[in-house]
Amino acid sequence: THWKHGGIVGVFGYGGGVIGRYCDQPGMFPGVEHFHTMRVNQPAGKYYTTDYLRQLTKLWDMRGSGMTNMHGATGDIILLGTTTPQLEEVFWELTHNLDQDLGGSGSNLRTPADCLGSSRCEYACYDTNALCHFLTNEYQDELHRPAFPYKFKFKLDGCPNGCVASIARSDMSFIGTWKDNIKIDQDAVNKYIENDAAYPANAGAHKGRDWGPFDIQKEVINLCPTGCMKMDGKELKIDNPNCNRCMHCINVMPR
Ligand code: HEM
Ligand code: HEM
Ligand code: SF4
Ligand code: SF4
């Protein structure tokens, strides 16, 4: 490869959001003499209108390479590849016409990222979009101007299923859980046990497939990581202080 890590580039007033890339053989590869990445702060939950996406891709076709990464590992919209003179132009267009801001990079606070939470997911234990939006606004200064010796990330999962893997990927991880004891609908549990067609076991990516007849002992009770569940006749019992809220039983029996 012929890349070098070249100096600091950015937009006026910001200490991040642009990652400078230069080719060390500009004579041989003039098309990628500069190939800077711009990070754009994605909206909480990553909701867009098609109109907005058209405007963004049109802007990037005109002023950058046209290549994007929707979304980067950071959470941001990643615009891959432009030259130094285009940076302010893109920034002006984003902030004045698209109501959009740059994200974090380097030793900034990084753009907070969340799962879509209660906007779409019934497992959500709090409104991740609201908290993500709040943190983004509250820490605007830290998001744009490097205040730390190293990067810092907030990521927000609505429940322990961890769809943004906040525990692995952030410095401050928010994971929703329930305050009180786990709620059990005993009638529904018995419908699952009876293999009632209106109560198909397995949710999410495991939904809608033929897993054979459901066996609560094999598929739920034996797999509870803390062994805190048991059937007492027709009643499912959970020893709440020993439940570590892993979500397994809820994922298998979503009712
Ligand atoms: C000498 C050249 C390069 C250096 C020093 C470099 C360094 C880095 C660093 C430090 C980051 C993390 C930035 C941050 O989080 O603050 C990063 C991200 C990344 N780089 Fe590079 N990089 C180089 C070239 C490349 C090239 C040539 C590619 C692709 C062919 C590439 C692809 C990526 C991607 C995909 C990310 C993650 C962006 C995201 O999803 O957040 N990099 N790189
Ligand atoms: C056995 C080989 C590989 C494994 C196990 C692996 C694993 C992973 C994992 C776990 C992540 C997600 C990290 C996170 O977001 O927390 C990731 C992201 C990524 N991997 Fe790999 N990877 C492999 C090979 C490759 C190769 C060969 C490439 C490129 C040529 C590649 C490019 C990337 C990029 C660009 C991302 C970030 C995607 C994004 O922007 O969200 N990986 N990889
Ligand atoms: S982390 Fe939980 S609340 Fe968020 S999308 Fe995933 S399953 Fe739903
Ligand atoms: S949430 Fe996990 S630990 Fe708690 S009862 Fe269900 S399977 Fe067991």
- The reply to whether 180 falls in a domain is no
- Tens digit of each residue's pLDDT (9 = 90 or more) over 8-17: 789 999 999 9
What range defines the domain where residue 146 resides? 113-175
Q: From the CA of 22, which ligand is nearest?
A: 1
Please report, for residues 55, 84, 88, the alpha-carbon distance to residue 10 in angstroms, rounded to integers and kept in the order given. 22, 8, 8
**What local confidence, expressed as pLDDT, does residue 5 receive?**
64
User: Do residues 197 and 168 both lie within one domain?
Assistant: no
What's the structural domain count of the chain?
3
CB 19 within 8 A of CB 105: yes
Burial of 243 (0-12, 13-18, 19+ CB in 10 A): middle
Q: Give the mean pLDDT of 29-50.
A: 92
C-alpha to C-alpha distance for 110 and 106, rounded to whole angstroms = 8
Burial of 119 (0-12, 13-18, 19+ CB in 10 A): middle
Instruction: Provide the sign of the torsion angle of the four alpha carbons 127, 128, 133, 138, taken in this order.
Output: positive
- Tens digit of each residue's pLDDT (9 = 90 or more) over 17-37: 999 888 888 888 888 888 999
User: Do residues 64 and 39 both lie within one domain?
Assistant: yes
Of all protein residues, whose CA lies closest to atom 3 belonging to ligand 4? 243
User: Do residues 196 and 127 both lie within one domain?
Assistant: no
Write the DSSP string, 161-192.
Answer: T-TT-HHHH-SEEEE---SSPPP--HHHHHHH
- Tens digit of each residue's pLDDT (9 = 90 or more) over 230-240: 999 999 999 99
Tokens of 209: 């497939």
- The reply to whether 215 falls in a domain is yes
**What local confidence, expressed as pLDDT, does residue 31 receive?**
85
Q: From the CA of 175, which ligand is nearest?
A: 3
- The reply to whether 70 falls in a domain is yes
- Tens digit of each residue's pLDDT (9 = 90 or more) over 174-185: 999 999 999 999
Dist. CA 216 → ligand 4 center (Å): 13
**What local confidence, expressed as pLDDT, does residue 29 receive?**
87
For a ligand 4 pocket test, name from 245, 252, 253 the mutation site with the most ligand atoms within 8 angstroms of its C-beta: 245
User: Do residues 163 and 190 both lie within one domain?
Assistant: no
- Tens digit of each residue's pLDDT (9 = 90 or more) over 103-148: 999 889 999 999 999 999 999 999 999 999 999 999 999 999 988 8
User: Do residues 71 and 12 both lie within one domain?
Assistant: yes
The reply to whether ligand 3 has any atom less than 6 angstroms from the CB of 247 is no
- Residue 255: other Cβ atoms inside 10 A: 14
- Cross-strand bridge partners of residue 70: 77
For a ligand 3 pocket test, name from 126, 156, 159 the mutation site with the most ligand atoms within 8 angstroms of its C-beta: 159
What's the CATH code of the domain at 133? 3.30.413.10
ipTM of the complex: 0.74
- The reply to whether 27 falls in a domain is yes
C-alpha to C-alpha distance for 120 and 159, rounded to whole angstroms = 13
- The reply to whether 88 falls in a domain is yes
Write the DSSP string, 82-95.
Answer: --HHHHHHHHHHHH
